[in-house]
Amino acid sequence: MPSHYDIEMRLDVRVPMRDGVALSTDLYLPKDRGPFPTVLVRTPYGNNMEAMIEKARRLANRGYVCALQDTRGRWDSEGDYEPLVTDGEDGFDTQEWIGRQEWSNGRIGMSGGSYLGWVQWASAPLASRHLTCMAPRVICTEWFEGMVYLGGALQWNVLMTWGMRTNGRTGQNIDFHHWTEAFRGLPLNQADELAGRNLPFFKNWIAHPTYDDYWKGLDVSARWGDITAPAFNMGGWYDLYAQHTFDNFNGLRAHGATPEARRSRLIIGPWAHSLSVSPRTGDIDFGPDSQVDLDALELQWLDHWLKGIPGGIVDEPPLRLCIMGINEWRDEHEWPLARTDWQRWHLHSRGSANSVLGDGVLAPEPPGEEPADRFTYDPRYPVQTMGGNNCCSPHIVPWGPYDQRPVEMRGDVLCYTGEVLTEDLEVTGPITLVLYAETDAPDTDWTGKLVDVWPSGYAMNLCDGILRARYRESRTDPTLLEPGKVYRYEVDLGVTGHVFKKGHAVRLEVSSSNFPRFDRNPNTGHALGVDTEQRPAQQTVHHSTACPSHVVLPVIPHR
């Protein structure tokens, strides 16, 4: 076979779906008799983007047909656009169509990140005999908590910015919105209109604030056992889907329908949603070794499954992690790591942990009889988002690691800081905050953030999370609080892979808002989305023998 092929382009090929809707598909084919394997890319962002075309041409040069398809209701494709809903069937129908073409050898791989990753997972449980492998980047497979309601709180920045950009048939410029005002629009179910847009799917998602049948129908994580194709998962520690990238890896490795599906892989680096585009993420330069040619790795994956070329990443350990702090790559075999030492680091204070200037301490020793910490959470003046696992407009709300000291100077942010470390401490895995707390409101939020404090005082955020109190027991049947009663909360702070260097310290922040990453809880207990009222809440965090608030750290022993 030739090592390089000339290219034939067939643009705006109309691919019929089962309901008669035709989806516009651009084909990039090797100029040869074939048949060839196909790489399918389905996108709502336009199949005529320069980077996408360049990738399609590279693949065609190497003996692949590359099919770039506009999803339903977007750009040149027919139909109505409703995110997520028809992507499974449309993907399956496209795969079956490709398999019938004279230029196809019947093997299909899929490629792409974010929504382009979702369409891969959406079609996979339908198990087309032609879908041979996938390479999804930075995406979840369960949308209720994966993107929309993390811990029961709306991921407001994503829904507003991505939602407005994806409004209508073509891309929308959102750079001229007054975002300080747009994010604060109330009631939430009219925030799109207050900012000048009309997003029916946005209103629909706000109208489904529990994990009901609507969300269950979009939950691929319940169908691992139907998936026959292996997946090469790619993610970033500062991507909003970081934890879900591991969930996808574990789900398919454990429950995939075929031995091939159970050979799935994962790579994760110190990257945000855009992945390996620069050695710098946020404030931090992670060095040139932090960058990886993900397209080259993906090509090895495609070559193995679609062309039968042996070797490459398929024969290597299934996990490739870049451990921050030391900025070193390491191969692993499971997640969480089998050698993890799960340590409880407890919250302590003399009752004044408010701000970084307070007396909050984080230590492995459990608390005795200590006074509680108190603060006022006022949703009119929320704690500002300072980087983190955000998406998808870093020029509006930055993503990645940033100095948290401006946030930590607030009286409504409790700071618990460990002793200066006398040796390196690696924390790699999922992070959970167990909080014993009370409020005088019928509902409120609890937030947590894990921070690396440098000798200079620089406070580098690693991961964070939120829990809306009414969802403390169930995401299907939320229940309001009894004001003044102490409840036990488990706040999922996401995942990290990081070494706290000697001379650094571990810090935990606790508060009740992280805005505009998450919407503000108005503390009223009313139905989601209808409030224009906001009321302050008096918050109390306990750390005592009876109420031992703590964070669970996955400490990795030195080898």
Domain boundaries, the chain: 1-137, 145-206, 234-334, 341-556
The tens digit of pLDDT for each residue in 93-126 reads: 999 999 999 999 999 999 999 999 999 999 999 9
Q: Which of 90, 93, 239, 373 is catalytic?
A: 239
Which one, of 308, 309, 313, 276, lies nearest residue 297 by Cα?
313
136/114 Cα distance (integer angstroms): 8
CATH topology of domain 341-556: Jelly Rolls (2.60.120)
Looking at residue 125, what DSSP letter applies?
G
- pTM here is 0.97
Asked if pLDDT for residue 2 goes beyond 80, the answer is: no
Overall residue count recorded for the chain in this entry: 559
State the Cα–Cα distance between residues 546 and 548, nearest whole angstrom: 6
Q: Give the pLDDT of residue 442.
A: 98
CA-based nearest residue to 65, from 295, 302, 313, 314: 302
What are the tens digits of pLDDT across the range 445-495? 999 999 999 999 999 999 999 999 999 999 999 999 999 999 999 999 999
Catalytic residue (choose from 111, 130, 221, 273): 273
Residue 558 has pLDDT above 90, yes or no: no
CA angle 160, 46, 68 (to 5 degrees): 135
Is 114 part of the annotated catalytic residue set?
yes
Give the residue carrying structure tokens 């200590």.
370
How far, in Å, CA of 536 to CA of 271, rounded? Answer: 36
Q: Which residues have a Cβ under 8 Å from the Cβ of 213 and sit 6 or more positions away?
A: none
Examine domains 234-334 and 341-556 and report if their fold is the same. no
Residue 273 bears catalytic tag: yes
Residue 1's pLDDT band (cuts 50, 70, 90): low
Q: Which fold has domain 234-334?
A: Rossmann fold (3.40.50)
Which residue type does 313 have?
I
Amino acid at 228: T
CA distances (Å), 348 to each of 367, 374, 418, 489, in order?
6, 13, 10, 17
236 and 269 Cβ atoms separated by less than 8 Å? yes
The catalytically annotated residue of 24, 77, 111, 114 is 114
Q: What whole-number distance in Å separates Cα of residue 320 and Cα of residue 292?
A: 11
Tokens of 237: 């520690």
Contact call for residues 209 and 189 (beta carbons, < 8 A): no
Find out if CATH 3.40.50.300 is the number for domain 1-137. Answer: no
pLDDT at 311: 77
